Amino acid sequence: MENVTNVTTEEADGAVGGGNSDELRRLYEFLVKGVLLGLVSLMGILGNVLTMVILSRPQMRSSINCLLVGLARCDAALLVAAILIFSLPSVATYTGCLPHYMYYVYPSIARIVYPMGLIAQTGSVYLTLTVTLERYVAVCHPLRARSLCTYGRARIYVVLIIVFSVLYNLPRFFEVERVTGTLPPYNTTIYMVSASALRNDPLYITIYVNWTYLLVMYFVPFLALAIFNCAIYMQVRKANAERQRLSRLQKKEIGLATMLMCVVVVFFMCNILPLVNNVLEAFYGILQDELIATSNLLVAINSSVNFVIYVIFGDKFKRLFFKIFWPQRGRCCRGGNDSPEATHEESFVSNGRTFSVRQPSSRMARNNGSRDVKLQLLAPSTRSPCVYYPTDDELKGLDEQC
């Protein structure tokens, strides 16, 4: 989401009757910003709401899921802002529909929705970085993960990122103002969105809008994401080479790291063009409307696609999704390699202590005449910990069997 003030001001002027836009460019912006961005944002909002519902379940309680819930909330807020300040105004400008929204509602809410969208975008970027840091610690420094990758710390990280996002974007609340205009055919008073005196200040644009925005929103997170994901990738390759010696839950950790690397790859792909646009504006003063519209669409895609990645790569996420919203399919998805009932041994980390659930093999069961499940408390393990949180049903089942 970028150059919102310039774009919205131009749309308002064109709606009043400026008629300066080329028809082909107007059609392109209508299709990209009005239709595609709107549809992608609506589907993305639905996907993020489903993500929040699933990851907020008690059996999904973990540090990484707490961060992912915060990411889903920021993405949903960003998509709502994109619909209100990009999609609906583009549709209204091109088709002539929604005149009340374009001339009265939109100029009033733009002063709030515009900075809120940028706050959500900042939070989304830095929560993605925090998710990568969490995976880096869990995969590359597993012994430190016991103290750093906790649910309580994850909630603190989310709050700190939101506070930082609000403080960094406070000047954005003073960039947009509502001005009064007249609709020529009817001589009717309407409202329009215009850049404020602060937004037109050359020093402010150079330091804050261009240089600081590039540094905070692109250079720092891009560099950090590249470094930490390279380290994770090397560790994943090493683990895959020794996959036969990994425990089942260690394989889960590697699988989770791989899934979140896909999230970061999509983040890079969708933010390269916005980075190019901001570099062109900061260094060369070039503003290309078609590229800006495409960049905003890519940002919306990036905020919408995480749910699809979770469903494809997250076995537990997918099972819980079907269990909640499609029970018949959910029963078909049970079992398999990722099912607790199909495993010979499972362990999970809880409060710094490792528990092991062992079930006797069939030969031992026949010899002992018992199929009881034993729950043993072991000393803290020096092996790489696997962050695994059992479901309430699993714990209930263990108590009944014990």
Confidence of residue 223 (pLDDT cuts 50, 70, 90): very high
What residues make up the domain containing 114? 4-321
Q: Is residue 304 part of a domain?
A: yes
Confidence of residue 56 (pLDDT cuts 50, 70, 90): very high
CA–CA distance, 327 with 321 (Å, rounded to integer): 9
pLDDT at position 21 is 56
pLDDT at position 7 is 43
Same domain, 191 and 297: yes
Q: Is residue 336 part of a domain?
A: no
pLDDT at position 327 is 75
Helices (H), 183-314: 202-204, 213-214, 220-241, 248-279, 289-304, 306-313
pTM, to two decimals: 0.77
Cα of 239 vs its chain's centroid, Å: 27
* CATH code, domain carrying 71: 1.20.1070.10
Same domain, 92 and 60: yes
The answer on pLDDT for 359 being more than 50 is no
- DSSP at 56: T
Question: Encoding tokens for residue 317?
Answer: 């996420």
The mean pLDDT value for 274-289 works out to 88
Tally of domains within the chain: 2
pLDDT tens-place string over residues 321-353: 888 887 766 565 554 433 333 333 333 333 333
Same domain, 295 and 369: no
pLDDT at position 36 is 96
Same domain, 118 and 160: yes
- DSSP at 83: I
Helix (H, G, I), strand (E, B) or coil at 125: helix
The mean pLDDT value for 5-31 works out to 62
pLDDT at position 325 is 83
The answer on pLDDT for 390 being more than 80 is no
The mean pLDDT value for 65-78 works out to 96
Same domain, 133 and 281: yes
The answer on pLDDT for 366 being more than 70 is no
Burial-class residue 320 by CB neighbours within 10 Å (0-12, 13-18, 19+). buried
The mean pLDDT value for 8-23 works out to 50
